[in-house]
Amino acid sequence: MSIHINLELTDHCNIKCKMCSQSMRKDAHGGPKKFMDWDTWRTSLHGLAGLEEDVHLCPHWLGEPTIHPEFDKFVEYAFGINIGNRLFREFKVHTNGVVLGEDRARLLLRLANAKGQLEDTFRFMHFSLDAHSREVYKDVKGADRGPLVRRNIERFIQLRREMRLEWPKVTLGFVVQPGNAHEASDFIDHWQPLLRDPALCWDWPTQVRDAIYFRPLNTGNQAASDALHAETCRSAGLEVPEGDRIRSAESF
Ligand code: SF4
């Protein structure tokens, strides 16, 4: 048995994706947005000790975790006290990749491949990208950060390759919508050769490997959004099931 635990480092974000309700609200949880304090993080982590279930830990729910002013310190501490996986069995980061300089990339790669834990503990870096070109990134993500994000992710992948490291796996997400659907093939063409034998997915990735995945936008007209998603995946050459709605049963 396993349980998924999200310790949300912050509900602030540094960009404004047009499909993200979090980015449209002043408050995400019915109060002012915040950054988690050190005592809450430390106490929460130690509180995981002794749970019977395998804990799958993610320092994110809403917001962008890497903009926490002490993100590096928090994550390094978590791995430092997780010797023998006594607190968590798996770990993953969801990020937009805007704040991922070389020092942070090296830190995360070091923690993911550190001794004293099962080798697949730090499973994934999930990057939310949703665009190929600078113009479409700016439109969909509400910020002119496309080139920076591309450099950051490419450097992370390159460092992993140069250091011959297995973990974490890298996945790149693309929420299909009218403004970016035409870039799906370019997105694959750019990233597929850089990743390590990535799966091409029409829903959440389900395998423990690099992946490029396309998801439908949740909208008021879900049938049209699902149809655009299915057609975009087919046009990009993905092997998809029949029909206009190709989400898996577990998807939301
Ligand atoms: S990066 Fe994530 S939290 Fe921030 S606006 Fe985009 S989807 Fe929302």
Answer yes or no: do 162 and 220 share one domain.
Answer: no
Task: Look at residue 72 in the predicted model and tell me its pLDDT.
Answer: 98
Chunked mean pLDDT (size 10), the chain, 252 residues: 96 93 80 95 97 96 96 98 97 98 98 97 98 98 98 98 98 97 98 98 95 94 95 95 79 54
Domain of residue 51, CATH code = 3.20.20.70
Answer yes or no: do 154 and 183 share one domain.
Answer: no
Answer yes or no: do 200 and 112 share one domain.
Answer: no
Query: 149, 167, 185: which is the final residue of a domain?
Result: 167
Answer yes or no: do 82 and 101 share one domain.
Answer: yes
Task: Look at residue 38 in the predicted model and tell me its pLDDT.
Answer: 98
How many helices and strands (H and E) does the chain possess? 8, 7
Task: Look at residue 249 in the predicted model and tell me its pLDDT.
Answer: 59
Q: Is 77 exposed, middle or buried (0-12, 13-18, 19+ CB in 10 A)?
A: middle
Answer yes or no: do 101 and 126 share one domain.
Answer: yes
- pTM of the predicted protein model: 0.95
Task: Look at residue 21 in the predicted model and tell me its pLDDT.
Answer: 80
- Counting Cα atoms < 13 Å in the Cβ hemisphere of 2 gives 10
DSSP annotation string for 45-96: HHTTTT-SSEEEEES-SSS-GGGSTTHHHHHHHHHHT-GGGSS-SEEEEEE-
Query: What spacing in Å lies between the alpha carbon of 82 and ligand 1's midpoint?
Result: 29
Answer yes or no: do 18 and 119 share one domain.
Answer: yes
Answer yes or no: do 163 and 199 share one domain.
Answer: no
Answer yes or no: do 189 and 70 share one domain.
Answer: no
CA distance 115 to 77: 15
Domain containing residue 117 = 2-167
Pocket of ligand 1 (CB under 6 A): 13, 15-17, 20, 22-23, 62-64, 96, 128
Q: What total of structural domains would you count in the chain?
A: 2
